[in-house]
Structure 1
Amino acid sequence: MNPARTLIVDLPGPDLTPEQGRFLALYGFGGICLFARNITTPERTARLVRDIRDALGHDALIATDQEGGAVLRRLDVPHAPTPQALGWLNDVEAAREAGRVAARGIIELGLNWNYAPSLDVNVDPLNPVIGERSFGADPQVVAELGVAWAQGSEEMGVMSSVKHFPGHGDTRTDSHLALPVVDKSRAELEAVEWRPFQAAVQANLGSIMTAHILYPQIDAEEPATLSRHLLHDLLRRDWGYDGVVVTDAMDMRAVADRYPDGHGAALALHAGADAVLSCGHGDLDIHVRHLGAVERALRANELSAERLAEAVGRLEKAARRFPGSPRPYRAAQRQADEAWTDAIAQRSLQQVGSIPRLDPHETVVLIAHRQPGLGGPYGDSLSGEALAEALRPTFPELHLAVHDGQDLSGVTALLSEFPDAAILLATTERWDVGEAVQQLAQDLKGRRTAHLALWNSDRAAELKLPALVTHGFRPAQLRALTARLAR
């Protein structure tokens, strides 16, 4: 039994070089996780997937994060709406179709595993890594919509991976940077965080991804990814889950700082995980170190051969259930999916207060962040110029004032130049907009202003201006926003 089959690894770039192909074939890893750096044109990415399967075998699991919203790896296909938008609509069938849309865009290339959707209940809206990735703060809504989304994906031949078990929605610590602690009792977790995951188990969904979070009232020593109490005792024994358990990326500092050089991989497998996600971001040697740690644990009887065989068996079963045979994405289907995403964007556009009507021929001042920062799982954000480009065809007299979140001198100058202009204050930041923008919103209350909340819906309540909440910043949301402003 090759212990490398339990490792899901990443690759440096968009092509598999001969050297990298020999590396994969030598070790025989269980699969690959593709990131935005690996996904380019459809033809090139499909060739990459074929080359990976040639190296690892055609039972390899090839994964990505195609969640929708701000976490997308393939961008040249219809974008599934944010879970936040789907939660706002509370439409189970829309959630199911969102899962299908996401899956159609990746099964075309031969990917058979999507690390989505998030079943985290958005208990704390200031959580730095969940936000619009969550279907909401109501655990029942999250359960119903999340399970439907995952089922839609699996109907299309792409295994879902609901995450982040047992819940990442009530912490303000980003597990990419440090170890979060959620100090809740079992009863509290059962009432909220665990309910969506129990629904996922009952629905027999293909896989569950773990969270690098310490729950001291359940396990005082190990974060969930490494906790036998949570993975074996709760998820396997008490709930009866027999699908694949995959870890979140082991390079995240919540685990990597505490268990360097792959040591956490063996602990995760012992705890009950079947697949360990090893991410080197270009460094292939980290995968060898993870494998070495697993092999040492086997020799030391810290990880049993039976546990390893069980893990590999589950992965092989998943590969048979989701073989990753590419399915053509027909032009008619793509057009239908584009129309559907536009309709969802229009339906989920949320109005707060009285929005001023804009004449397409009048002067409009758009205020936006030059380029909001990223972090955690986010691959891209919306720049001020990109937003202006989306609005200018409808509002040709639009003038853009960008800022960095602190220095608003350019904004002040443009507002002085056009004292009678309508104002659009856009917030495209995932995190806090900062005191300067908050003060600006106060100062604009006497002028004809609309707040465009394009990422974090909580900004609408924070800035206390008439607002349009788009629940996302992808093209469909921008089209819906433009149409509403010009109505």
Structure 2
Amino acid sequence: MTPADLLPGTLMMVDIPGPTLDEATAAFLRRWGIRSVCLFGKNVQNAGQLRGLCRDLRLVMGENALIAIDHEGGAITRPDFWPFAPSAMALGAADDPALTEAVNAALARQLRSVGINWNFAPVLDINVNPANPVIGERAYGDDAARVIRHGRAALLGHACEEVAACVKHFPGHGDTHLDSHLALPAVQKSRAELEGGEFAPFRELLGQAPAVMTAHIVYPALDPRHPATLSRAVLHGLLRDQWNYDGVIVTDSMGMQAIDANYGRGEAAVLALQAGADLVMALGRREVQEATLDAVDWALKGGQLDALATAHSVRRLEALARRAPALADEALDPAADAPVLREAWARALSTVGAATPPPLGSPVILVAHRTPLRENVSEAAADAETLARELGTLYDVTLVPFESPDELNWPALKAAGLPLILATTARHRHPALKGAQPDLHLALYNPYAVLDVDAPAVVTYGFRPEARAAVLAWLRGELLPSGRLPFRA
């Protein structure tokens, strides 16, 4: 088969509108020969519905179907009906690779139980920038050895359960101050610095990684003009030629502003394939998907894409689907993994300073964000009322909710003379809380918030119910925190 004969959908991954496969979407997938779909929260209701959707997708897309999802653990978990796995940084804090392997095997079993065969995890970014607005607790930590140790375990956990993993975000998103969902970041490091830092986990673990996702980031030391996703020097020159990687290269979403605001969507898709990507993530409105498919179809028919490279891409994608078939295993019971996931959250719990629980039954003031919102790929954190209700099982709680930290009058709160508990639940750090004066800080989401609040802290690396249960166990005196911050504080 020549590129001109290939349907462009073979090289495209799309998203679909809702929780069922409507006939118009099924016809769209058939018409373009699309074999790869990425699922999001809009596609998820319950296990039965999700299993039915995956079955219908496979019937339309064929035996080489790739059904993917971001199922990292922590805040990056779409289904809310399975036990929640901890974030990567929680596992980095527990620092037990056997536990990381067990947690990732549980994540994979959850997906396999419904027929999802590709997980966009683990994250191999080394989060060396505390102000990083998009990675944070999604990374295992701020040093290469820890990321390699736990990244290897995560890949093994997925492989044992026959769900394809995908390491990301190559060559590294851990030292950015911009979110590529919103802007085009650049990492101004020399090649030597990249070799000793960002590259290390990818170079070490690519032999175990069936797929790698690209970063929409410019690395001037590698290519001064193009972000990695569109750079032949990065994808073909570095990844294929120098490192001899022969797994699948998939782009991050081309709907992110790093690409969408700087390149035409169709043009960018063709550039990514020319650069060495096997699969372009063409997410968004149907008309945008159609425009991307049209551009790739034109490039295939016009000889703009190399025939041998295209054939290799098809081979890699089909091999990935054969290695991890999109078949639901209904005998799996994800609820059976709840104990190991609870244990992982508990073992991650870390303290900063002389964190001491207030006496049980005493009156306390809780200061918490009224209504945390969903942020890009992350789900929304626990709201103030939920936290107050849970702490209310142990204390006489007076809740002081806020929408913005600027609303808070810390001297007045301190003047009440009661133990003052601050809960932070946002992804971003809280520079506006630098003047905060709590007696105890519950860092329930971004662990880097401890850098902004000068107070003893308990760090969970996530806001899920299992994380909050670990905090309650500590407050009751039933849990001695054993985790250690996996970054320099």
Q: Same fold (TM over 0.5)?
A: yes
Unaligned runs of at least 5 residues, structure 1: none
Report how many aligned residue pairs link the two structures. Answer: 472
Task: Report SS of the residue matched to 1:468.
Answer: strand
Map of 1:391 onto structure 2: 391
Is 2:393 aligned against 1:429?
A: no
Following TM superposition, by how much is the alpha carbon of 1:247 offset from its aligned partner in structure 2, in angstroms?
Answer: 0.3
Map of 1:438 onto structure 2: 434
Q: Report the Cα distance in structure 2 between the residues aligned to 1:144 and 1:356, rounded to whole angstroms.
A: 32
Q: Report the Cα distance in structure 2 between the residues aligned to 1:46 and 1:361, rounded to whole angstroms.
A: 45
Is 2:138 aligned against 1:133?
A: yes
Q: Report the Cα distance in structure 1 between the residues aligned to 2:292 and 2:377, rounded to whole angstroms.
A: 22
Is 2:451 aligned against 1:461?
A: yes
Map of 2:17 onto structure 1: 12
1:414-425 alignment, distance < 5 Å = 419-425=416-422
Map of 1:348 onto structure 2: 348
Following TM superposition, by how much is the alpha carbon of 1:306 offset from its aligned partner in structure 2, in angstroms?
Answer: 2.4
Q: Report the Cα distance in structure 1 between the residues aligned to 2:172 and 2:200, rounded to whole angstroms.
A: 10
1:123-167 alpha-carbon deviations (Å, 9 max, x no partner): 111111110000111112101211210221121121001000000
Q: Report the Cα distance in structure 2 between the residues aligned to 1:385 and 1:179, rounded to whole angstroms.
A: 37
Following TM superposition, by how much is the alpha carbon of 1:374 offset from its aligned partner in structure 2, in angstroms?
Answer: 3.8
Map of 1:240 onto structure 2: 244
1:266-415 alignment, distance < 5 Å = 266-280=270-284, 283-328=285-330, 330-331=332-333, 334-335=335-336, 337-395=337-395, 397-408=396-407
1:166-181 alignment, distance < 5 Å = 166-181=171-186
1:160 counterpart letter in structure 2: A
Q: Is the 8 A contact 1:63 1:114 kept in 2?
A: yes
Q: Report the Cα distance in structure 1 between the residues aligned to 2:183 and 2:450, rounded to whole angstroms.
A: 29
Q: TM-score under structure 2 normalisation?
A: 0.93
1:210-225 alignment, distance < 5 Å = 210-225=214-229
Following TM superposition, by how much is the alpha carbon of 1:330 offset from its aligned partner in structure 2, in angstroms?
Answer: 4.1
Map of 1:87 onto structure 2: 92
2:419 counterpart letter in structure 1: A
Q: Report the Cα distance in structure 2 between the residues aligned to 1:177 and 1:40, rounded to whole angstroms.
A: 28
1:359 counterpart letter in structure 2: P
2:269 equivalent among 241, 262, 265:
265
1:295-325 alpha-carbon deviations (Å, 9 max, x no partner): 2222333212322221111101111111122
Task: Report SS of the residue matched to 2:452.
Answer: helix
Is 2:115 aligned against 1:110?
A: yes
Of residues 318-327 and 294-303 in structure 1, the stretch that sits farther from structure 2 once superposed is 294-303
Q: Report the Cα distance in structure 1 between the residues aligned to 2:26 and 2:35, rounded to whole angstroms.
A: 14
1:462 counterpart letter in structure 2: D
Map of 1:480 onto structure 2: 470
For the structure 1 residues 214 and 60, does the alpha-carbon distance in structure 2 shift closer, same or farther, using more than 3 Å as the test?
same
Task: Report SS of the residue matched to 1:49.
Answer: helix
Task: Report SS of the residue matched to 1:471.
Answer: coil
Task: Report SS of the residue matched to 1:140.
Answer: helix
Map of 2:483 onto structure 1: none
1:430 counterpart letter in structure 2: R
Alignment RMSD, CA only?
A: 1.7
Q: Report the Cα distance in structure 1 between the residues aligned to 2:342 and 2:394, rounded to whole angstroms.
A: 17
For the structure 1 residues 354 and 227, does the alpha-carbon distance in structure 2 shift closer, same or farther, using more than 3 Å as the test?
same
Q: Is the 8 A contact 1:104 1:329 kept in 2?
A: no
2:85 counterpart letter in structure 1: A
2:375 counterpart letter in structure 1: G
| Percentage identity across paired residues of the two chains | 40
1:100-136 alpha-carbon deviations (Å, 9 max, x no partner): 1111111111000001111000111111111000011
For the structure 1 residues 230 and 261, does the alpha-carbon distance in structure 2 shift closer, same or farther, using more than 3 Å as the test?
closer
Q: Is the 8 A contact 2:429 2:448 kept in 1?
A: no
Q: Report the Cα distance in structure 2 between the residues aligned to 1:115 and 1:234, rounded to whole angstroms.
A: 22
2:256 counterpart letter in structure 1: M
Of residues 70-79 and 32-41 in structure 1, the stretch that sits farther from structure 2 once superposed is 70-79
Q: Report the Cα distance in structure 2 between the residues aligned to 1:345 and 1:221, rounded to whole angstroms.
A: 42
Task: Report SS of the residue matched to 1:122.
Answer: coil
Unaligned runs of at least 5 residues, structure 2: 1-5, 478-489
Q: Report the Cα distance in structure 2 between the residues aligned to 1:329 and 1:454, rounded to whole angstroms.
A: 34
For the structure 1 residues 310 and 463, does the alpha-carbon distance in structure 2 shift closer, same or farther, using more than 3 Å as the test?
same
Q: Report the Cα distance in structure 2 between the residues aligned to 1:415 and 1:398, rounded to whole angstroms.
A: 15
Q: TM-score under structure 1 normalisation?
A: 0.93
1:82-101 alpha-carbon deviations (Å, 9 max, x no partner): 11111112211111112111
1:143 equivalent among 139, 144, 148:
148
Q: Is the 8 A contact 2:109 2:332 kept in 1?
A: no
1:171-227 alpha-carbon deviations (Å, 9 max, x no partner): 101111111111212111110100100122132x21000000011111111110011
1:433-456 alpha-carbon deviations (Å, 9 max, x no partner): 242x32232xx4xxxx21101112
Q: Is the 8 A contact 1:66 1:72 kept in 2?
A: yes
1:347 counterpart letter in structure 2: R
Map of 2:29 onto structure 1: 24
Map of 2:44 onto structure 1: 39
Of residues 92-101 and 300-309 in structure 1, the stretch that sits farther from structure 2 once superposed is 300-309
Q: Report the Cα distance in structure 1 between the residues aligned to 2:393 and 2:331, rounded to whole angstroms.
A: 30
For the structure 1 residues 257 and 208, does the alpha-carbon distance in structure 2 shift closer, same or farther, using more than 3 Å as the test?
same
Task: Report SS of the residue matched to 1:178.
Answer: coil
Map of 1:451 onto structure 2: 441
Following TM superposition, by how much is the alpha carbon of 1:251 offset from its aligned partner in structure 2, in angstroms?
Answer: 0.4
Task: Report SS of the residue matched to 2:449.
Answer: helix
Q: Report the Cα distance in structure 2 between the residues aligned to 1:122 and 1:170, rounded to whole angstroms.
A: 6
Q: Is the 8 A contact 1:79 1:101 kept in 2?
A: no
Q: Report the Cα distance in structure 2 between the residues aligned to 1:220 and 1:353, rounded to whole angstroms.
A: 44
1:42-86 alpha-carbon deviations (Å, 9 max, x no partner): 111111111111221132100000001111111211222111111
Following TM superposition, by how much is the alpha carbon of 1:359 offset from its aligned partner in structure 2, in angstroms?
Answer: 3.0
Q: Is the 8 A contact 1:262 1:291 kept in 2?
A: yes
Q: Is the 8 A contact 1:157 1:324 kept in 2?
A: no
